[in-house]
Amino acid sequence: MAVDENLKIEMGKQGVFVTTLQELYNWGRRSSVWPMNFGLACCAIEMIATTMARYDLARFGAEVFRPSPRQADLMIISGTVTKKMAPQVVRLYNQMGEPRYVIAMGACAISGGPFKQGYNVLKGIDRYIPVDVHIPGCPPRPEALLDAFITLQKKIDAQSLTGENRPRHLNPEGQGEFPVPEQGEHDLEPPSNTLVWPAPMVIR
Partner 1 sequence: MKTNEEIKAAIEAAVPGAGVEIINNPSPSAQHSLLLQRETAFAVAQFLRDDAELAFDYLSNVTGVDWLDKEIVEKVKVKKTVTKTVDGVEQQVEETVDETRKHVEPGYLETVYHLYSMAKKHGPLILRLRTANRTDQVELPSFTPIWRSAEFQEREIFDLYGIVYTGHPDLRRILMWEGFKDHPMRKDYVEPDDFEYEPTAHDAVLKRAQEHQAKAASAQNGGAA
CA angle 39/44/50 to nearest 5° reads 125
Q: Interior CA angle at 73 toward 151 and 180, to 5°?
A: 105
Where in 108-127 is the site for partner 1 (CB under 8 A)? 117, 119-120, 123
Interface characters, 45-84, with partner 1 (x: CB under 8 A): --------------------------------------xx
Using rule CB under 8 A, residue 88 touches partner 1: no
Interacting stretch for partner 1, rule CB under 8 A, among 6-14, 29-37, 67-75, 179-187? 179-187
Helix (H/G/I), strand (E/B), else coil: 141: coil
Residue 102's closest CA among 172, 175, 28, 94?
A: 94
- With beta carbons less than 8 A apart as the criterion, state whether 78 and 106 touch: yes
Decide: is 32 part of the binding site for partner 1 (CB under 8 A): no
The strand pairing partners of 76, in sequence order, are 103
Which lies closer to partner 1 via its Cβ, residue 179 or residue 184?
Answer: 184
Query: Nearer Cβ to partner 1, position 40 or 72?
Result: 40
To the nearest whole angstrom, how small is the minimum distance from the Cβ of residue 201 to partner 1? 9
Q: State which residue, 111 or 159, has the beta carbon closest to partner 1.
A: 111
Which is it for strands 101-105 and 133-135: parallel, antiparallel or unpaired? parallel
- Say if residues 46 and 139 touch (Cβ distance below 8 Å): yes
31 counts as binding partner 1 under rule CB under 8 A: no
Contacting residues toward partner 1, per CB under 8 A: 83-84, 117, 119-120, 123, 183-187, 191-192, 199-200, 202
